Amino acid sequence: MAGCPYDARYVHPDGYVDKCTFCAHRVREGRDPACVSTCPTFAMHFGDLDDPGSGVSRLLGSGRRVKTLNPETGAGPNVHYLL
């Protein structure tokens, strides 16, 4: 757990170490992760960064400043914060 540069690991109630999977089971069904679909301010977006026509690609290309957490670790973060 200490090796995670994002402090994203946690101990699951069943006793094992886990991290967010962006609700892979929901994404496989074509739905957004639960955090995105329940965000009351619509501040969270999810999509395919490799698809230039996707909503998240357009948001990142809109000219707004963007921040990622700890890019210096070389982990290739794919969570972007629009500032």
pLDDT (0 to 100) of residue 71: 86
pTM of the predicted structure, to 2 decimals = 0.69
**3-class DSSP assignment, residue 20:** coil
Each residue's pLDDT, cut to its tens digit, for the chain (83 residues) gives 566 655 667 788 888 888 888 888 999 999 998 888 998 988 888 999 899 999 899 999 998 898 988 888 888 888 888 88
What distance lies between CA 5 and its chain's CA centroid?
A: 15
